[in-house]
A and B are shown apart, each in its own frame.
Chain A
Amino acid sequence: MNQMTQPTPPALFSIRDLRLSFADRAHKPLFGPAPRVEVLKGLSLEIPEGRITGIVGESGSGKSTFGRILVRLLAPESGQVLFDGKDIGALGEAALRPLRRDLQMIFQDPMSSLNPRHKVWRIIAQPMKRYGRGGDRTDAITALEKVGLSAHFADRYPHELSGGQRQRVGIARAIALEPRFILADEIVSGLDVSSQAQVLTLLADLARDMGLTLAFISHDLSVIRHLCDTVVVLHHGVIVDQGPVEDVFEHPQSEITKSLLSAIPHPEMDETWWDDMPEPA
């Protein structure tokens, strides 16, 4: 992995003027089409290869919708989504099939994203088999060991694991396919601080050792600061701040980023935290 020595790694994703809107059926008039709600309003950014890009914003900012376009679970309305130089935004399902292995995802809720009736090894091995990357028990155990779970977890069921262990299985399933891109959508928000810290440390180590390209969606700026190399701050479907994490956190450009940063309760005694008053929306 020599990309760490290069100052600017090449972009794996180049996104140009990405737009998406949904029909607002709650406000549909009796006749005529439902009004559209713009979710993403012209995003342009690059996701560098071999780095962790943080995507942060409040609920309703469009961060998950954006992530789902990256892995093409959703199609953009207009704009370009260049993956390795190829526009995948307009591709149909058949044309996307060869790319699916390269675009993997780790989900927020491992209880609903891991099959409760399958043993852990099968959960990891099945997609490997599907994409012709092996897929026997030993392959699954190799992947498990990479995420710090020993071989005896292979025969457990998801309900027998703790939240942090389940999330590790999700990570193992994604990295076992050796994808070129992984989307992690709020993967630590349901965890306790101690398992959260474990999963974050694991993810940082894996990213460094395997040179993973990761988009990490979170509403928690502290987590983003610890894990990511670059960050994009979204607000109502618009990018309000972006750049290397140190720059954005030390010198935030937008008021949104500043208010998000100042609202974080630090684990230390500091009465000045209460001073500035954010207006309730």
Chain B
Amino acid sequence: MATTTTRSRRTDRLLAAATVLAAGAAAVLALLVAPPDAVQGQPQRLMYVHVPAAWLAYLSFAAVLVASVAHLVTRDLRWDRRARAAAELGVGMTALAIALGSIWGRPVWGAWWVWDPRLVTTVVLLLVYLGHLSVRGLGDDPATGARRAAAVGVIGFVNVPVVHFSVVWWRTLHQPASVLSPDPAPMDPRMATALGVAVLAFTLAGVLVVRRRLRVLAAAGPAEPAPAPLPSPVTGPLVVTPRIRP
């Protein structure tokens, strides 16, 4: 047990160091190496935090789906904690992406908020996962709450592709996907490198945050073992042996 904790702490330290390195490299590349956008100018540099935040939100919600399915199959509360930690990270990153997009939109579009399909669907996605996090409070039993949350985690993921493809389906103010697209837009290699390193930094930070959150959740409520399978039905004749008391 102590060895596992020590190994886990060492992994965390390595992850933290890698995150700091990647974040530092991303900051240098985004602020000093990558050129400003020809049309948008300096505000475009917000892309190096806005896009990674959105990416990490997608990744978190995919993790919620996987962990929810795993919990429904195994009934192991460790999967529920993973789903919960990932959902919390996803909600935070979605809120961050919306806030950063709003700050970016002010100088570029001339407004903090526009009724753009990508913006609206992203806010709706945030509401879906806020609902997912709130479902545990419907009752008192943690195991029941975990099952309900897992069910909502599976159903809620339906909206994620809608958010991603909204910029393809509508003519929107929001630019189409630059990377996760079958026909990616051409990008200056220095911009692409800065964006890639920023995505890596966010992903490493996300993994670190989830690992630490999992430890807190595990300390708050110990893992329950997966329920034992139901006994197989009696196949042979039922024999009752009388016990005669002397």
Q: Note whether A and B form a binding pair.
A: no
Contact surface of B with A, Cβ cutoff 8 Å: none
Contact surface of A with B, Cβ cutoff 8 Å: none
